[in-house]
Structure 1
Amino acid sequence: MQFGIFSVGQLAPDPRAGRMPTEHERIRAMTALAVRAEEAGLDVFATGEHHNPPYVCSSPATLLAYVAARTRRLVLSTATTLITTNDPVRVAEEYALLQHLAGGRLDLITGRGDTPDAYPWFGQDLREAPALARENYALLHRLWRETDVDWRGRSRARLDGFTSTPRPLDGVPPFVWHASVRSPQAAELAAHYGDGFFAGNLLAPVEHYARLVELYRTRYAEHGHGTPEQAIVGVGGQLFVRARSQDALSEFRPYFGRSPAYGGHWSLEECTARTPLTVGSPAEAIEKILGFREAYGHYQRQLFAVDHAGIPLRTALEQIDILGEHIVPALRRELAATRPAAAPPAPRHPAAPARPAPATPRADPSGTRPAETRTGV
């Protein structure tokens, strides 16, 4: 399985320190998280796309190109590429070029996004979102696999004998995951093409996404791509870990209370019980993440948000260190021992390098002793 982090690039004040970072600081912090993820032995860094405040990443291709130049093994991904409001011709061109620059270390998570206001900004109608997703992805899929494409559609100008450049690296297009917050149409689109399905869950009950994953697996098989167990599934979530669970809950509570994602629907304790939000000790985190198999089956990618709702860079970097040193190695061992033979590995471009070597233990944030000697970690 691939493990990694994702950031939506939200600009928010730190409720503990009372300071709002600048846009420049936030953008630089996102790149620092990506570099640390590779250093910690994680597999993936993904970034969202938004075109409105309070978000800073309006051009994932630009940010990921910078990260590609500073990393060697990390898989780079969008989370998500707005398939409804982006021109599929530009998506095909920009991400094929980035795939070359990154040596194959690139894939896309596509989706409709969660900002309805963006549709008129790009000349589209929110009511047409499902049709836009189907039509734009159909064109993108062809552009990466065919030359001299003739196209007639409703959402963009016609194409006559068009070939997008550059062509995908070694003729292998970037792998595509279709993300959903609530829509079964995304699961159906992923199943139709034999692509991956990403359950981008931060705040909904786990069983809601389990139903979408089950729908995707069933339709994947019905479309003739393989058995339900061979479908490619990714899962999102948020994590905050300290050596002692009571310390994690106490430190995270102000961020939870200010988060627009959770919005006061549940208490922190209720949310950690019902959703993928994981707050506690490393042992508790490992137990909860392993339990996701009961809801989703054996899956291929797990991404965590570690910088949400104003969590400062230093704290987010500490979360990545704990993931890399204490949580992910234990998950890899357990999952390797129990993974069914039918469950495929995570997708990887043939040109992309293998998984990074285990991380060197990093110093404790206090600077006093190695991180692995901290009590309870």
Structure 2
Amino acid sequence: MQFGIFSVGDITPDPTTGVAPTEGERIESMTRIALKAEEVGLDVFATGEHHNPPFVVSSPTTHLAWIAAKTERLLLSTSTTLITTNDPVKIAEDYAFLQHLSGGRVDLMMGRGNTGPVYPWFGKDIRDGIKLAVENYHLLRTLWREPVVNWQGQFRTPLQGYMSTPAPLDGTPPFVWHGSIRSPEIAEQAAYYGDGFFHNHIFWNKEHTEQMVRLYRQRFEHYGHGAADQAFVGLGGQVFMGTSEAEARKQFRPYFDNAPVYGHGPSLEEFTRATPLTVGTPEQVIERTLGFADYAGDYQRQMFLVDHAGLPTDVVLEQIEILGREVVPVLRAEFDRRRPAHVPSDPPTHTTLVAAGPNAPHHLVEPARATASQGASA
């Protein structure tokens, strides 16, 4: 099972000092967080993508390439790649280039983002969000899998004889996750292609997460990719740890109360009861996280949010140290012990996808079952 850190890259004043990092300081902080993740034995670092304040993460591939040069093992990913407002042609080029730079240590998560004004900034209409996600991703798959592309759609100019450069490393496109909090269409999209489904698992109750993951699993099986419990699921989670629950809550409370997203809303106690947020001891984080599989099923990737709301970098690095030293080794062993033998322990990686060969389903633009159904009805 993979464990890692995902960041949204917000620039938020520390509520205990009133001081906010500069953009350069925040970027450097995220780099240090990624390096710490590898140092303590975590598997993945993922960055968000935003194009508006208070966020600084406008160029994920630039930052991930810098991190790739400073790491040896860490898998580089995104906690959002904006499939709606980015041109799929540029995504295809940028992430294939990053594959080559990093030796294949790349996957990425497609998302629609949560900031309405970004759409017109990039010439798009937010009312087309789902349709953009569907059309743009299908084009991206085509660009990564066909050497010459002739294509016409609704939202961009046609392509004639287009060749994406560089081609994916070893002729093998990166594995893709589709991230969504509440859109069943995105769970359906992930299932249709046999890709991964990631629920950020931060703001909603477990019943909602269970419903979304169940839909994805059922449709994954429907499209012939395997049994429902073999589908590739990733979950987020938000934690803050201390030597006691009381100490952790005392330290985290001012950051929670003033967080950009949920600050000045529900109390810390209300939020921890209603959502997967865990503020307490490492043992409490272990117990709560192990419980995620009770409603989401056996899953392959667990990501932790630890660096937002103005938390000082040294505090964040300490949290990652605790994760790597005390929490993740226990979680890794327990999840593996419980997992049935037929359920994948890890999502696909570049190494496993290359080993599967050029005729593996991953290399199809359309899933085999959908292609067969279309041929039968023609």
Could you tell me the TM-score, scaled by structure 1's length? 0.92
The letter of the residue matching 2:13 is: P
Gaps of 5+ in 2: 354-378
Distance 1:351 1:18 in 2: 47
- Answer with 205-214 or 38-47: which moved more: 205-214
The answer to whether the aligner puts 1:301 opposite 2:290 as a matched pair is no
Percentage of identical aligned residues = 59
Query: 2:3, 2:301 within 8 Å by CA — same for their partners in 1?
Result: yes
CA displacement at 1:351 relative to structure 2: 7.8
The letter of the residue matching 1:348 is: T
1:34-49 equivalences in 2 (<5 Å): 34-49=34-49
CA displacement at 1:263 relative to structure 2: 3.7
The letter of the residue matching 2:342 is: A
Query: 1:175, 1:195 within 8 Å by CA — same for their partners in 2?
Result: yes
CA displacement at 1:346 relative to structure 2: 2.2
For residue 234 of structure 1, give the secondary structure of its aligned residue in structure 2: strand
1:91-240 equivalences in 2 (<5 Å): 91-240=91-240
CA displacement at 1:261 relative to structure 2: 2.1
The answer to whether the aligner puts 1:342 opposite 2:342 as a matched pair is yes
Gaps of 5+ in 1: 353-377
Output one character per residue of 1:56-100: Cα deviation in whole Å (capped at 9) or x when no partner: 010001000000000010000011000000000000000000011
| Other-structure match for 1:371 | none
For residue 35 of structure 1, give the secondary structure of its aligned residue in structure 2: helix
Distance 2:295 2:336 in 1: 18
- CA RMSD in angstroms comes to 1.1
The letter of the residue matching 2:33 is: L
| Other-structure match for 2:278 | 278
Output one character per residue of 1:23-61: Cα deviation in whole Å (capped at 9) or x when no partner: 110010000000000001000000000000000010001
The letter of the residue matching 1:67 is: I
- Answer with 324-333 or 14-23: which moved more: 14-23
Distance 1:207 1:270 in 2: 16
Could you tell me the TM-score, scaled by structure 2's length? 0.91
The letter of the residue matching 1:318 is: E
CA displacement at 1:175 relative to structure 2: 0.5
Alignment size in residue pairs: 352
| Other-structure match for 2:318 | 318
Distance 1:288 1:19 in 2: 33
Distance 1:232 1:111 in 2: 17
Output one character per residue of 1:200-221: Cα deviation in whole Å (capped at 9) or x when no partner: 1221112111110000000111
Query: 1:180, 1:199 within 8 Å by CA — same for their partners in 2?
Result: yes
Query: 2:233, 2:300 within 8 Å by CA — same for their partners in 1?
Result: yes
Query: 1:36, 1:320 within 8 Å by CA — same for their partners in 2?
Result: yes
Distance 1:245 1:111 in 2: 34
Distance 1:346 1:43 in 2: 12
Distance 1:254 1:245 in 2: 15
CA displacement at 1:163 relative to structure 2: 1.5
Output one character per residue of 1:310-332: Cα deviation in whole Å (capped at 9) or x when no partner: 00100000000000000000111
| Other-structure match for 1:369 | none
| Other-structure match for 1:55 | 55
1:234-249 equivalences in 2 (<5 Å): 234-249=234-249
Distance 2:126 2:60 in 1: 22
The letter of the residue matching 1:167 is: A
- Answer with 261-270 or 15-24: which moved more: 261-270
Query: 2:12, 2:260 within 8 Å by CA — same for their partners in 1?
Result: no
Query: 1:104, 1:351 within 8 Å by CA — same for their partners in 2?
Result: no
| Other-structure match for 1:356 | none
